Amino acid sequence: MLYLLHRQQAPLDAIASAFSDQGFICGRLASAEALLELVEDQRPDVIIMDWAEVDADHDLIAALRSEAFGVRIFLMADNNPEAPEVVRAVRAGAVAVFVKPFQPAQMIQTVSEELREDLRAPENAGGSPKIQG
């Protein structure tokens, strides 16, 4: 399940439509508060949200990651954020930052590649476990 949170409806509709066309189940949310309530009951696989929701307080990313273990969080920025801010967001747990104009095809590719990481078998899959002492 993929959840989208953005304060502007137009980019949200286009992005949700593109992800839905690729087989993703998408939910849209109006606020960070609604998102936090949702992750208490459900565990989303992916959250794509507005940079403005986390710009002042990167604790939101950490809170989401602690409530929904394994969730991938991506950010959408209307303007090009400064490098130190991107680093802060990534350290807090964001996977990537998409910058306007949003390219749904690129977003889908990036999210899909991130989700595929879960499906990759370890190098020694099928062999005997390696124990280091």
Q: How far is CA 123 from CA 3, 4, 17, 129, 133, in A?
A: 32, 34, 36, 11, 19
Q: Where would I find the H helices in 22-118?
A: 32-41, 59-67, 83-92, 104-116
Q: Which of the two residues, 78 and 24, has the higher pLDDT score? A: 24
Q: How far is CA 67 from CA 75, 96, 97, in A?
A: 18, 20, 21
Tens-place pLDDT, residues 36-65: 888 878 888 999 999 888 765 668 888 888
pLDDT band at residue 21 under the 50/70/90 scheme: very high
The pLDDT of residue 104 is 93
DSSP 71: -
pLDDT at 124 over 50: no
pTM > 0.85 = no
CA-based R_g, the chain, Å: 16
